[in-house]
A and B are shown apart, each in its own frame.
Chain A
Amino acid sequence: MPIQPSLCDRLAAVVGREHVLHRPVDLETYAYDCSFATRLQPYRPDLVVRPGAAAEVAAIVALAGAAGVPVTPRGAGSGQTGGAVAVKGGIVVDLLRLNRVLETDLPNLQVLIEPGVVHRRLDEHLAPRGFFFPPDPGSSQMCTLGGMVANNSSGMRAVKYGTTRNYVLGLEVVLPDGRLIWTGGHNSRALKSVTGYDLTSLFVGSEGTLGIITKIRLKVLPRPAARGVVLAGFAALDDTGQAVAAVFGCGLLPAAIEILDALAIRGILLIQPDAPLSPSYAAVLLFELDGSPAAVAEQAGAVARICTDLGAEVHASTEPTRAEQLLAARRLVGTAAARICPGASRVYDGEDISVPIACIPAALRRIQALAGEMDLPVMTYGHVGDGNLHAAVMADFRDQGALRRAAALAARLHELALELGGSVSAEHGVGLSRAAYVGREHGAALDVMRTVKQALDPRGLLNPGKMDL
C-alpha cells in the first residue's frame, strides 16, 4: 500500500524529517535480516521511521493505525527469521536510537533500559559495577535487548540461568491502538509479583505482533568472581550424552554446556588456531563454570574427571583471558561458518531446533545423515545443556539447486525436532521462516494465540505475516 505524502509529513513532524527514510537506497537496507527467507526474497518497506522516544513510537503507531498502514518494529536486524522485516510493506520502526540505560538500580538488582541498547553495551555498563545480565547470545556485539525480549532469546548460559524471560520485570509497550502501557505494575520495582495476568510474559517472545516494546525493566545478578572452561574431546558421539548426564547426575550445574561437531571444531580452529582441539574428535563438549575461584576450580576438576573417565581428552582453563578467548571463539563459530566452505554462505533456516537433552547424540547423527542426503555441508554446534542445536547449513547462493536442497533440508530439520518431541525454535523465534510450524507444534493452542492477537490488534497492522497469526 503506497504511503500518502500527508502521512510522511505528519511522521516527520513527530520524529524530525531526517529520521523519516523513503529513498530506495535506504529502503533496500531495511529489506533483510540474517534470514534465508529474506536472502531469497528481500521485502522493502514503504517507509522507515527512526523515533527517539517512547512517545514518538506511540505517535507513529497511532498515525499508521489511522491510515491503516502496517508497522514492523526493528532493532539491530540481526535476527534469523525475518521477524524484523516488513513482509506486508508499510512502515519499519527502527528502534536503534532508543539506546539509553535510564536507571541503574543495583541495590534493587535491576536496570531500566530502552530497547535499542546493544547486549554488549549493557554488559560493559554492568561489568565494572560487579553485575551482569545472564543471557548471553552469540550475537552479543550486535543484537539489541529489545530484540532479545521480543524473541525471548538466550544463549549458552541458559543451562544455569534460563532465558531472557526470567529477567524481565516489566515492560513499557505501545499497543496497536497507540496506547502506552506498563506491564508488571506501572510503578513497580518489585522483584516478585503475582498480581493480575502475567502480561510481561505475554509480550516477551511476541515478536512485535502485539505491541512495540519501548522500555524494559530487567533483573540483573551479581557477577560471578571467576569463570572456567573445560574442553573435552570425544572420539565417540554417544559418550558426549553420557558425559552430560553424568555431570548433572553428580549435582553439578555448569553455566553452559556446549557441543561442537567435527566441522564446528574446524571452524573454532580457524578463529582460534591455538585452541586445544584436535580435528580428529567426533565431538567436543565445552563446559563453562562460574562462581568463586575455589568453586570454579572444584567444579572444573569434577567435570574434567567425569570426561576423562569416559575416555575424553580434557583441557581445563581457569585463567580468565584464556577462558574468554575460548568462549569468544565459540560465540563466533556460527557466523564464521562460511570460512569453512569458501564460496558458500550460511543458510539461516532450520538453524535453531531444540530436542530433549537425551536425544542430542541421536539428533546429531540424524542431522549428518540429512546433510549427506541433501549433499550440503552442515556444521552443528549448540547448547547441549538445554537441548538446543544450531545446524549451520552452507550453500553457494548462486547455485539454484543448492538453494532448493537447503530449503528442503531446513524443512527436514524442523520435522526432526517435532518428531523427537522438541521445538522448531529454542531461542531465535518464529518470524517468517517458521510460521508454518507453529500450528504443528502447538495444535489448538494456536487458536488461542490468534484470539489474543485479534483482541489487541484486530486489524492485524502490527508486524503482519509472522507467526501464522
Chain B
Amino acid sequence: MTAWPRTGLPLPESSPDRHGELLACVRCSACRETCPTYITEGREAATPRGRIALMLAEHEGRIAPNAALRAEIDLCLGCRACEAACPVGVPYGRLLEETRARLADRLPRPWWQRWLRRLALDGLIVHPRRLSAVAALARLYQRTRLARLLGPLLPAPISRLHALLPPLSRPRPLPAGAAEGRPAAFFSGCVAAAFLPATNHASVTLLQAAGYKVDIPAGQTCCGALHSHSGDLHGAARLARQNIAAFARTEGPIVTNSAGCGAMLRAYGDLLAADPVDKDRAAAAAARVCDLSQALSSADFAAGHARQRAAGAAPVTVAYQDACHLRNVQGVWREPRRLLAALPGHRLVELPEPSVCCGAAGIYNLMHPAVAAQLQARKLQAALALGAEVLVTANPGCLLHLQAGVRRLGLADRLQVTHLADYLSSCSGRRPKQINDPTGLAATQSSKTSTNSGSKQALASPRKSASAAADE
C-alpha cells in the first residue's frame, strides 16, 4: 500500500539505475567529517557512507525496511554537504529522497502520522489563505495572554513549532512593480509569505532598487521541497507543475529568497525528467531560477545602495551562515559574501566549517530537536567567538532556527540573526520604493525604523534597527 495518494503520473519510483548509483560509492569516507550527524552522533550509521551502505543493504535485501532503518534515514538532515565532498559524485540527495519514498511505501507510518503530514503538507502549506489564517492565529496567540495560559498544554511538536516563530508582524501586500526595468519574477514561497512578510517585502524592494521590474505571478504555490524531502515525490511533482504554469507567463530570472525553495525549483527538471510532456518546460523553468543574492550581485547592487556610516564609528562585525541548499546544492556562496563585504562600515568574518548545517533543515528541527539544538548552539558559539554582532543567512528556515537559538540561549543582546534581504534593506540608503508606492506600505520594517531615526543619519547600530523591526 502507499502512504501517499498516487497521481497517476509517469514518475519513476526510483531512478533507472538506483542500484548502480548506490554501488558507485567507493566507501572512501571523504564525506564523514562534513556530516553534521557524524559530528553529533559519531556512529558510522550516522555518516553518509553508512547511510548509503544501509540503503544498499536494504536494496539488496540484507536488512529489512523496518523502523530502525527509517530512524537512521530520518536522522539525516539532507544538507548534502557530503555531495560537495564526494570525489565520485554519488547523487546522495536523490538516493536519500528515493529511500524515504521507498520506506513510505514499504513501511507505512501510523495512520495519525500520515494524517498529520497530509494535513500539514497538502492541507495547509499549499493553501496561502489557510496559512495566513494560521499566521494570524499565531500572532493573536503571541499578543495576548493565551500563550501563558495555553503554552503548557500544547503537544511537544506544536510548542517547538511555536518556539521557532519570531514575533510576527502583520501581513502586507508586496510592493507594486515598477513599469520599467529588466524583468524578473519573484517566488514568494509558502512559509515565508505567511510568516516572514517583511523579508519578502524587503526582497522585492531590493530587486526593484537594483533595477528589476518585478512580477509576482498569481497561482504560484509551495515549491514542494517539504514533500520531496519526506519522500512524497508525487506531491512535489504536482506542485512543480502548478509553479511551472504560473511562471510560464513571466520573463527573466525566477528569484527566491529561500535556499530550500531555490534548490527544489532548480530540481524541477530532474523531478519531471520521466514525463515526456512536461520535462522540457520543467528544465526551462529550473534554468531560470536564481537566488536573491545572485540577482542583486549581477545587478551590481551593493555599491550604490548602502548608506555610509559615520566617520570613526566602529565597524560592525558580520558573519554569513551558508544555507546548505544554497552552498552545497546550488553552489552559491560567493554572492552573499560579496554583498555583505561591500557594505560600508562592515567587517565580514568567516565562520569555521562553512559547509556544516545549522540544524534547521526544513522541519528537521521539529522532528529531531536534540541534534538540531546541538548544531544550532555550535553555529551561534562559533559566530560569537569571532566577535560577530550580526549573523546573516539567506534562508528562512535557517533564520527562524538560529533566531530561536539566540532566544533559547539568551544571546539576544549579543547577536542579531537576520535574513540577507532584511539586513541589506536595513542598511539601504535610498528608499526607491517610495517611487512606486504611494501608499507607503512598501517601506520595509527595518527601513521604517531607520526612517524614524532619519535616513540621512549615520547608522549607529544596524542591530538595533533590525531588532526593532523584528519586534514590530
Contact = CB atoms under 8 A, between A and B. Distances in A.
A338 B21 CA distance: 11
Q: How large is the interface on A (under 10, 10 to 19, 20 to 34, 35 or more residues)?
A: 35 or more
B72 interface: yes
B54 interface: yes
B64 to A, nearest CB: 8
B29 interface: yes
Interface stretch (A26-34, A176-184, A292-300, A304-312): A26-34
Contacts of B68: 23-25
Interface in B6-27: 17, 19-20, 23-27
B27 A398 contact: no
A118 B44 contact: no
Contacts of B85: 141
B355 to A, nearest CB: 13
A28 B63 contact: yes
Nearest to B64: A24
A118 B69 contact: no
Nearest to B69: A25
A345 B29 contact: no
Contacts of A396: 20
A271 B88 CA distance: 10
A343 B20 contact: yes
B32 interface: yes
Nearest to A99: B42
B213 to A, nearest CB: 37
A335 B63 contact: no
A346 B23 contact: no
A142 interface: yes
A141 B89 contact: no
A397 B23 CA distance: 7
B454 interface: no
A32 B42 contact: no
Given A23-B68, A141-B33, A28 B57 contact: yes
Chain A facing B: main interface SS? loop
A343 B50 CA distance: 21
A234 interface: no
Contacts of A398: 19-20, 23
A338 B44 CA distance: 23
Interface in B52-99: 53-54, 57, 62-63, 68-69, 71-72, 85, 87-89
Given A335-B28, A338-B24, A25 B42 contact: no
Contact of A96 (B20, B42, B57): B42
A201 interface: no
A348 B26 contact: yes
Contact of B28 (A29, A34, A397): A34
A349 interface: no
Contact of A28 (B19, B53, B88): B53
A118 B38 CA distance: 14
B43 interface: yes
A339 interface: yes
Interface string A323-338: 0000000001001111
A29 B24 CA distance: 16
B119 to A, nearest CB: 30
A94 B20 CA distance: 29
Contact of A336 (B17, B57, B88): B88
B191 interface: no
B33 A118 contact: yes
A289 B30 CA distance: 27
B178 interface: no
A42 to B, nearest CB: 8
Interface in A254-282: 271
* 4 nearest CB pairs, A to B: A29-B50, A335-B87, A29-B44, A142-B29
Given A339-B89, A397-B23, 10 more contacts: A23-B68, A24-B63, A24-B68, A25-B45, A26-B45, A28-B54, A29-B43, A33-B27, A78-B29, A336-B87
